Structure 1
Amino acid sequence: MKVHRLSILERDALKGWIMTYLMSREGIPFAYIHGSFPENRSFGDVDVAFRFHVIGGELLFSRDEKTGCDFEERTMREYNGCSHYLELYRREALGIR
């Protein structure tokens, strides 16, 4: 995988392009980015968040603040409800301790 290094201005421009593109798509109420890209580190790709990755991600845009907050709250509740089982899966199936 090719690794990219961008200045803060270049990152902001790329985030702006991604935001504009996603906002032009109907049915996307909000988007988060996560991974190494928003942390100003070298990156191989830009991860657009979904489900549990919203936790700790950077909000890229939100068309409706209430909808976004409701989604975050629901996602955190669901994550907390199944995090024990996710941890068991990581340990048993994947060998991650």
Structure 2
Amino acid sequence: MDFGALGNFLPLIIIIALMYFMLIRPASKQRKKTAEMQAALSRGNKIITIGGLHATIDAIDDKTAVVVLEDGTKMRFERAAIGRVVEDDAAE
């Protein structure tokens, strides 16, 4: 059976499809999930920044969040620097 020109490009098409389903698609799903989490942030959420800092959100606006550490220190972070929201008992 002769596939002609398609037979020459079939391995390339398969490699591109594998790259999409194994690399690109999962990464875009993760970005979407992170963006949704960051959009849903509110005062009182316990968070961990991408640098590993544990804090509680004190104030939040479109681009930044003011967080409070355990010792009462307040710091301002970009929303994008917030890695995840944690449950009360998991933050300790």
| TM-score calculated relative to the size of structure 1 | 0.27
Q: Greater helix percent: which structure?
A: 1
Q: Greater strand percent: which structure?
A: 2
| TM-score calculated relative to the size of structure 2 | 0.28
